[in-house]
């Protein structure tokens, strides 16, 4: 992964963990479109979900899968 892509991922992850899902989503979309980052796909789905249904106030940034 290029250094620029890695920096984008770190920014996106920081925003995600700080519950700034809309901003994080924009970074993950760039990663997907410009770098074909498959991990970004997971976070894109999670951001969209959390925008619709925010996690609880005591959320620690950990994603809990509901199905396999």
**Using CB atoms within 10 A of its CB, is residue 29 exposed (0-12), middle (13-18) or buried (19+)?**
middle
Q: 32, exposed or middle or buried, with CB in 10 Å at 0-12, 13-18, 19+? A: middle
Q: What is the pTM of this model?
A: 0.87
pLDDT digits (tens, 9 = 90+) for 2-60: 899 999 999 999 999 999 999 999 999 999 999 999 999 999 999 999 999 999 988 88
For the chain, which residues make up each domain, given as ranges?
Answer: 3-52
DSSP 55: P
Residue 1 has a pLDDT of 55
């Amino acid at each position: 992964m290029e250094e620029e892509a890695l920096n984008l991922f770190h920014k996106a992850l920081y925003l995600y963990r700080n519950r700034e899902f809309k901003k994080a989503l924009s970074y993950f979309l760039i990663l997907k479109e410009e770098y074909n980052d498959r991990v970004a796909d997971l976070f894109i789905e999670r951001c969209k979900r959390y925008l619709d249904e925010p996690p609880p106030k005591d959320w620690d940034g950990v994603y809990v899968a509901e199905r396999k």
